[in-house]
Amino acid sequence: MDVNLNQVEELVPELQESLADRGEGILALSHPLVIIPFYSEHSAKQANDTLSHKTKRIQKAIKTNDWNSIIWLHERPYRLWAFSQFSKAMKPEQYWKILKAIWMDSKFPMIEKDLWLSMFTAEVKQKRKLMDGPERRTLQSLPGTVDIYRGYNGSRQGTLGLSWTLSKDKAIWFAHRFGEDDPFIAIATCKRDSILAYFHARGEQEIIIDPLDAQITDNEQVVDQP
């Protein structure tokens, strides 16, 4: 029997629904389990195989309550969504530890700000597990009113993010991070009791807070990076 070596596998319907036109004839595949930024018909087999493999692993993980594996089998932009779907089945300690891990791995949390906020403010027990011991002690050592900073680009709604810092220098670094032309830092105060979390794992002295609880006192345009 002759085999056509140039035969292209057809993309399964579930993935076909996740194809999007990026313009100029360029397609992108963005599915919770499979992301291919520049998709072509020759990518179909890889995409189908990845979907099948991950789906089987997720089905197995559900049977063993392996929620951590389930979340990380999802592509990065979809991990918070996956967390929101499976979080009710998690034990409290699992909830907070996995949420922290997803946050630390996220790139643009501003995109899903409302969902992040709902997860950080959920009525789930053992919230202390969201931070490690040194982080909890640092948070408790802060004064009742805390000075916080956020670096952003002046052309965006940068002051509305959840991620702030205790360090003005770090905020300036974030303002310059993408080499934009209009870097700013927002200067604000907040009540210590309104802070949702403090993280130091990335050396950012990071404060997580509902931006509505941050009282902005000034916005400074940044010229030089420290």
pLDDT, tens digit, 9 for 90 and up, residues 188-202: 999 999 999 999 988
Statement to judge: residues 114 and 22 lie in one domain: yes
Q: How far apart are the C-alpha atoms of 20 and 38, rounded to whole Å? A: 10
CB 182 within 8 A of CB 154: yes
Most confident of 68-82, 148-162, 180-194: 68-82
**Within a domain: 1:** no
Domain region containing 97: 13-123
Q: What is the pLDDT of residue 220?
A: 83
Statement to judge: residues 116 and 156 lie in one domain: no
Residues ≥6 apart with Cβ < 8 Å to 182: 153, 154, 155, 221
Q: What is the pLDDT of residue 8?
A: 78
Q: What is the pLDDT of residue 3?
A: 41
Q: How far apart are the C-alpha atoms of 147 and 14, rounded to whole Å? A: 48
Q: How far apart are the C-alpha atoms of 217 and 171, rounded to whole Å? A: 15
Statement to judge: residues 22 and 119 lie in one domain: yes
**Within a domain: 202:** yes
Number of separate domains in the chain? 2
Statement to judge: residues 102 and 19 lie in one domain: yes
Is residue 54's pLDDT more than 90?
yes
What strands lie across the sheet with 183-191, from one edge to the other? 197-199, 206-208, 163-165, 145-153, 183-191, 215-221
pLDDT digits (tens, 9 = 90+) for 74-132: 999 999 999 999 999 999 999 999 999 999 999 888 889 999 999 999 999 999 999 99
**Within a domain: 200:** yes
Q: Among 211, 216, 213, which Cα is nearest to 194's?
A: 213
> Given 63, 90, 123, which residue is the final one in a domain?
123
**Within a domain: 61:** yes
Q: Among 77, 63, 66, 141, which Cα is nearest to 111's?
A: 77
Q: What is the pLDDT of residue 97?
A: 97
Statement to judge: residues 94 and 160 lie in one domain: no
**Within a domain: 75:** yes
Statement to judge: residues 53 and 77 lie in one domain: yes
Residues present in the chain in total: 226
**Within a domain: 137:** yes
**Within a domain: 6:** no
3-state secondary structure of 183: strand
Q: What is the pLDDT of residue 107?
A: 85
